[in-house]
Amino acid sequence: MRKSAWIATITAAVFMSVGSPAVLAPAAPEVSLTVMNPRGEIAPPPLLAIRARISDLSGKKIGIYWNGKAGGNHFWNVIEQLMKEKLPKTAVLRYDGAYEVSETEALKIASEVDAFLYGVGD
């Protein structure tokens, strides 16, 4: 890279010393630097669209998952009360657990609800 910089500099100097300013514009010597890409490749996971929504929630069961982050329970308690007022024919089921939901837990929740709200407290 330094070598090419020197060549570019010398070339520009020669042109500037022999050429007429009217004919030769003072071309700036160009130094190029090529560097390797530092990023690691990502193997993208299979992509899925979200599931179709449920237009009428009457008679349905809605799960609420909270991961235990302090204070989130207060928010979800009020949401549960409000949903029961707004959707009196809809049942609300509560779940709480870890930050990560295991496949087993997910299967359990999915088997018990028709739709769900998922809030992590952040």
Tell me the C-alpha distance between 62 and 59, whole Å.
10
Task: Among 18, 22, 23, 70, indicate the residue that binds another protein (CB under 8 A).
Answer: 70
Whether the CA torsion 50, 51, 56, 60 is positive or negative: it is: negative
Tell me the C-alpha distance between 61 and 112, whole Å.
8
| Displacement of CA 15 from its chain's centroid (Å) | 52
91 part of the interface to another protein, by CB under 8 A = no
Task: Among 54, 89, 91, 92, indicate the residue that binds another protein (CB under 8 A).
Answer: 54
38 part of the interface to another protein, by CB under 8 A = yes
Which residue's CB is nearer to another protein, number 10 or number 115?
A: 115
Rounded least distance, CB 84 to another protein, Å: 11
With beta carbons less than 8 A apart as the criterion, state whether 33 and 1 touch: yes
Task: Among 17, 20, 55, 58, indicate the residue that binds another protein (CB under 8 A).
Answer: 55
